[in-house]
Amino acid sequence: MKRISLERLVSAKGELSYSQQYEYVTELIKKGKIKPLKASKTNGKKPALYREYWLTGPKKDYSALEEELKYRLHSLIAVDYYLAHPKVYERERAWVIKLSDYLKKNREKLEYRVSVNERSFEIWSREKFLSREQGKAVLKHCGLGEEFLNMYGTSEPLAYYSRTEDTPQNMVILENKDTFYSMRGYLLKGGERIFGMPVGTLLYGAGKGIIKRFEDFDLCVEPYLADKENGIYYFGDLDYEGIGIYERLAASFQEEWEVIPFVRAYERMLEKALDIGLEGLPETKEGQNRNISGEFFRHFSGESADKMKAVIVSGRYIPQEILNISDFYR
């Protein structure tokens, strides 16, 4: 929009009195041809006029787009937002048309659950349209939720090692890869029990990454691992962060799986740590989120829980790496 001063705006109407100039300017405002620039302040006269204005130009005709919205799109697409914001529809029209055409011709494909990128390409011929571009906004403007497209997100593949495919079996999620490789080495050499518990599969959690990876658990693993009769145990560092990862994981998936701490492994960690003494343990890393619910400690005896709390409250922690393959042979 262009700016114009009041003097220039009324210069062609110089023969008019001030009251007639005022009427002329206010009429232009009513017709939408100009808008006052309030930052320019008024001219000090009565009735007052602003010193500068924006020239808005003729109002754009959106009638053809409004007709398209009302009568040509698939009925599942809500048009209220676009009718109220025709400029947005003009900008997003190509994407809305693609979605409408897909629903008219290929709606039955929504019966099959596919990945976000696959569905994105199927509808818009752009695999990242939903994940990185304006796809989510277009869906929202069309009144459709992401669940309508029957798709799933994909994370990095879950790394795991299975000693057996028998079910039911016990699966252990390990926070750190050193312990994953140590336990895997023990199982590869014929071991079947770790601290007295039969273990069929080890899952590498990669710290906080396990929460995202576990969302796609059924997609990442073989059917025998997705068996709901299997037991799932968690084993990580004994510090605020490790406990927090367990509590978030257990809470996030409590409707599908009961994830419990690998109690015997934590107790063995504690035994070795107490032999070393608190002063010999590493100090807690800076910046850890100390907001834990205490659900983790509920799985231990009162004595063990108190000793664990004493360690972390002291500003120390017990890394998972305190255990190695020799401990599994005990």
Count other C-beta atoms under 10 Å from residue 264's C-beta.
14
* Domain range annotation of the chain: 2-55, 63-152, 159-328
Rounded to an integer, what distance in angstroms lies between the CA atom of residue 211 and that of residue 282? Answer: 26
Q: What stretch of H or E contains 209?
A: helix 209-215
Contact 213, 174 (CB under 8 A): no
Question: What b/e sequence results for 90-109 when a residue is b if at least 16 CB atoms lie within 10 Å of its CB, and e otherwise?
Answer: eebeebbebbbebbeeeeee
56 CB-near residues (< 8 Å, 6+ apart): 1, 32, 33, 34, 35
Mean pLDDT per 10-residue interval, the chain, length 330 residues: 85 82 90 88 92 83 93 96 95 96 96 92 94 94 95 77 94 92 94 95 83 73 90 94 92 88 96 90 82 90 94 92 90
Quote the CA–CA distance of 24 and 10 in Å, as a whole number.
8
